[in-house]
Amino acid sequence: MKYDYLIVGSGLFGAVFAYRAKMAGKRSLVIDKRSHRGGNIYCENIEGINVHKYGAHIFHTSNKDVWDFVNSIVEFNRYTNSPVANYKGTLYNLPFNMNTFNKMWGVVTPTEAQAKLEEQKADVKAALNGREPQNLEEQAQLLIGKDIYEALIKGYTQKQWGRKCTELPAFIIKRLPVRMTFDNNYFNDKYQGIPIGGYNKLIDGLLDGIEVRLDTDFFANRSELESIAEKIVYTGPIDEYFGYKFGKLQYRTVSFEMTVEDTSNYQGNAVVNYTEAEVPYTRIIEHKHFEMFGAEVEACPKTVISKEYSAEWESGMEPYYPVNDEVNNELAEKYRESARKEKNVIFGGRLADYRYYDMDKVVEKALVCEV
Ligand code: FAD
Ligand code: UDP
């Protein structure tokens, strides 16, 4: 055997695993079917701006081991995600906090806001009559009341998931913070930032000194690739690995309409969500704001923006978000059961676990894997 590990996928899971294997004195070959490394965190430099090709990526975690690990590879900046919601031309701060409540209802103090929230939640509380929310609509109204649900959640969520809020699981919306302070930080995590110089620096640091073959699809040459390493680390879609023997899992995908704009500052923020159903895209990302602050914004004369359109995944498209409904979760569990029986294969990452992991979870999983 030429290698200890064949690592299928050069995304975050594959790259962290490869790094740890190298540190343990093991030889790995990393392959990726794409023409670049990094999976979904890959950035392309356009007009001096790191463009997040597969959607905005903000690293955030409360796990100090994970934070220390990624910072040992590349230093992170102080970027704090504070998206703004545009509803019919009016801007509201996210996540739901005193700035949002002030703009929505004119309330000024936390006590006034709390009273308004209770009034807003009264109908759904009465309808639920003590039972747990059964879907996203009920959960959202219980969390934040009907005005904010109608303006900032309903349209956006239906665009993002292509399903009615009444047909989506409640947990999706539970992760959004509700705060009685004037704090626009989208995340509650202790640590947050973007690698200085972009995500490619993180991937390059992890894969330094490791053999990587691009434009190489595991399934195009499976038996030969399987024979060159003692073990396989597989980070692609789990159903594809097993030849879709139980049927196909579903995903949501996103298409990005990227343009270079002849202005130094297009929207004044990295992320603006368009929350009404009538606007076809879910959000606009202005990439320079992830890494340029203050005078740096104006010093860079152009800007790159991406409009994000969410869509149902079909074969040949990029599978981005696992669909966490009952049917798909049951199917995924059958595949995971098969995966547990594959003795020489480690399954890891978002696609092979079919889970909605953020980057920190992927790093955490790869850090505790036995190498
Ligand atoms: P991937 O990055 O998908 O890597 C898998 C790699 O395997 C790919 O490069 C693929 O080409 C390769 N591969 C697959 N099949 C084969 C094959 N047959 N042969 C060879 N190679 C193959 N997380 C956050 O923490 N913060 C965010 O703000 C955030 N935003 C996100 C926005 C979007 C639109 C999406 C989709 C995800 C976001 N995430 C975010 C999640 C984050 O992208 C993932 O947690 C992380 O990138 C997953 O890494 P991975 O290695 O598991 O998978
Ligand atoms: N959401 C919303 N309006 C917004 C932002 C988020 O309704 O302006 C909802 C939406 O249902 C989304 C969920 O909150 O799926 C979680 O949002 P988050 O930003 O965490 O989703 P991500 O894009 O990171 O998966």
* pLDDT tens-place values along the chain, 371 residues long: 799 999 999 999 999 999 999 999 999 999 999 999 999 999 999 999 999 999 999 999 999 999 999 999 999 999 999 999 999 999 999 999 999 999 999 999 999 999 999 999 999 999 999 999 999 999 999 999 999 999 999 999 999 988 899 999 899 898 788 999 999 999 999 999 999 999 999 999 999 999 999 999 999 999 999 999 999 999 999 999 999 999 999 998 999 999 999 999 999 999 999 999 999 999 999 999 999 999 999 999 999 999 999 988 888 888 898 887 789 999 999 999 999 999 999 999 999 999 989 999 999 999 999 99
Number of neighbouring beta carbons within 10 Å of residue 220: 10
Cis peptide before 280 (omega within 30 of 0): no
Distance CA 324, CA 249 (A): 10
Point out the ligand nearest to the CA of residue 83. 2
For residue 231, what are its two tokens? 């073990």
Half-sphere exposure of 233 (CA within 13 A, CB side): 31
Q: Which residues are identified as catalytic?
A: 175, 179, 252, 283, 308, 356, 358
For residue 178, what are its two tokens? 């509700």
Query: In Å, how far from its chain's centre is CA 121?
Result: 30
Number of neighbouring beta carbons within 10 Å of residue 325: 14
What number does the ligand 2 atom closest to the CA of 356 have? 25
Kind and range of the H or E element at 85?
Answer: strand 84-87
CA-based nearest residue to 46, from 324, 337, 305: 305
Distance CA 152, CA 273 (A): 9
Ligand 1 pocket check for 220: Cβ under 6 Å: no
Number of neighbouring beta carbons within 10 Å of residue 150: 15
Distance CA 66, CA 57 (A): 16
CA-based nearest residue to 289, from 194, 221, 150: 194
Residue partners of 115: CB distance under 8 A and separation at least 6:
none
**β-strand partners of 215:** none
Residue corresponding to tokens 């991937």? 203
What number does the ligand 2 atom closest to the CA of 140 have? 7
Q: Name residues contacting ligand 2 (CB within 6 A).
A: 85, 94, 152-153, 156-157, 160, 172-173, 175-176, 273, 275
Ligand 1 pocket check for 182: Cβ under 6 Å: no
* b/e per residue 234-262 (b: at least 16 CB within 10 A): bbbbbbbbeeeebeebbbbebebeeeeee
